Amino acid sequence: MIPNVLSVAGFDPSGGAGVLADIKTFAALRCHGLAVATALTAQNTRGVVGMDPVPAEFVGMEIDALFADIEIAAVKIGMLAAPDIIETLAGRLAHYRPKHIVLDPVLVASSGDPLAIGDVASAILDHLAPLVTLVAPNLDEAAALAGAPAPTTLASMHKLAEDLQRRGFAAVLIKGGHLESEKAEDILFDGTSHRSFSAPRLTAKDTHGTGCTLSAAIAAELAQGRELSSAIEAAKAYVNEALATADALNVGHGPGPLHHFHKFW
């Protein structure tokens, strides 16, 4: 049976991030993708020109329509844009109780442009944290959620992961791609133990949507029955190949998207 996986995220018309990147990831990993749009953005590979959140009530309608009809194996959450959207989403997820929820707490674009209005970090902690299977922030996102400085060492990543887990998340994966080190190190803390996921540091220029793609890949792997550590490991392998082969694409003049279909094209 092919599992259905839902992306709840923003719309990036360049196809590098958000629901379009998620849908491509789900398809590449043999899942059927569904999408709930939380915001429209005007952006390309050079940056974000504008952002328009979808009304929270309509986001709720989107979610209700899907769960009323379709068995959803996992949910990936990305850009949430505003606190009222988060409250609405949390209420729906608490009602429908999907088995796996992976949260990528998108606060700013990779270009540095803001992708949220209001105190989204607090709303995530107050409403979403108790519901998710895994939260997967990068260094800056983890710092924003915890109200702490961004970690600069593996030891401080470990400490921050523990802090976020105490704030209500079942498991925390802090992505260390921006840490200055020979390898890219991600740290998982599940409340009892730490695990490190190490990968060669790539010099790829086309990295738009890397975080979206990783969290979507984890959700897809969970939907197919992998346990959490195995899902993260498989997702990271997929993302590394998508990064390594991204120069086969020719999308824009800034950092382009990953090659989601590198196994097939």
Residues assigned a catalytic role: 175, 207, 209-212
Burial 7-32 (b: 16+ CB within 10 A, else e): bbbbbbebbbbbbbbbbbbbbbbebb
- How many Cβ atoms are within 10 Å of 209's Cβ, its own excluded? 30
Tokens for 27, please give them: 């398809």
**Of 61, 137, 115, 123, residue with least CA distance to 90:** 123
Whole-number Å distance between alpha carbons of 193 and 190: 6
Whole-number Å distance between alpha carbons of 187 and 176: 8
Whole-number Å distance between alpha carbons of 264 and 245: 12
